[in-house]
Structure 1
Amino acid sequence: MRILLVLSIVLAVILGCHAYSATWGRRNSTDYLLSRTTEARKPVKNNYWNINVNYPTGKYNISAVIVYDNFKNNSGASPSLYSGGPGYRFATVNLRGLVSQGIDSTVEIWGR
């Protein structure tokens, strides 16, 4: 019985790593939407998309960076926060797609 529990936890962790929506920071009710960018690209055969989404230096501090995968089957881009983000005034998010798959992601920057 213990082996079944350990295997189910390992499976949950592995499947959780393949979720392509991500959040950095925490959004409050007093935050404003500073930027919303939707990146959509068609699939390229035997190649992948690698896109940087930049939020340039602004006058507000960023409190949350949220990336939504608009594909329903989690085959979209894998997001990474390259620089900046919560606590800074700028952010760079990298979206890397799978080989022979397209990208359809929305990047939201919240701040106050």
Structure 2
Amino acid sequence: MAHKFILGLATLITLVAAANCQSHSMTWGQRTSEDRLLHNSIEYEEFKPLQIVKRDVHFPKAGEINYATITCINATDQYINDNGGYVSLLAGGVNNNYTTLHIKSQWNHGFNFIIDI
């Protein structure tokens, strides 16, 4: 009986730990074998005490022109401890030649994303 209790408790602790170690990565679209990397950046912002930090990522940058069609956008959260930020698609995106992503941290935290378009 004690073994079942210990095994059940260990399973519960493992599930809770796994649930708390989530990242906030996002993917729009799907890569194909003909795709090429149009944009790669690391978007990092340190925390500001008692604040939420935000940033917009524009592709292409002002003054640049992109003739290729976007087929996939990956925003990989480097914080896997559930303290990372959130990324959302504001404009353009898949099947367009431009996009704007909005990155927002959790309160009192920073963010660290790898953006691949």
Normalising TM by the smaller chain, what interval?
0.7 to 0.9
Shift of 1:72: 2.3
When structure 1 is superposed on structure 2, of 88-97 and 36-45 the one drifting more is 36-45
Give the number of the structure whose alpha-carbon radius of gyration is greater.
2
Match of 1:82 among 58, 76, 90: 90
Give the whole-Å Cα distance in 1 for the aligned partners of 2:33 and 2:51.
Answer: 41
1:86-110, CA deviations, whole angstroms, 9 ceiling, x for partnerless residues? 100000000000111011111110x
User: Where do 5+ consecutive residues of structure 2 fail to align?
Assistant: 1-18
Are 2:23 and 2:81, in contact at CA under 8 Å, matched by a contact in 1?
A: no
Aligned to 1:7: none
Shift of 1:77: 1.2
User: Where do 5+ consecutive residues of structure 1 fail to align?
Assistant: 1-14
Report the number of matched residues. Answer: 93
Give the whole-Å Cα distance in 1 for the aligned partners of 2:76 and 2:27.
Answer: 9
Name the TM-score, length of structure 1 as normaliser.
0.78
**Runs (4+) off by over 2 Å:** none
Aligned to 2:45: 41
Give the whole-Å Cα distance in 1 for the aligned partners of 2:115 and 2:105.
Answer: 15
Are 2:23 and 2:80, in contact at CA under 8 Å, matched by a contact in 1?
A: no
1:28 partner letter: T
Give the whole-Å Cα distance in 2 for the aligned partners of 1:108 and 1:60.
Answer: 14
Shift of 1:74: 2.7
Aligned to 2:74: 66
Correspondence list, 1:14-53, <5 A: 19-53=23-57
The answer as to 2:113 corresponding to 1:105 is: yes
Give the whole-Å Cα distance in 2 for the aligned partners of 1:93 and 1:20.
Answer: 14
Shift of 1:75: 1.3
Identity of paired residues, percent?
25
Give the whole-Å Cα distance in 1 for the aligned partners of 2:75 and 2:82.
Answer: 13
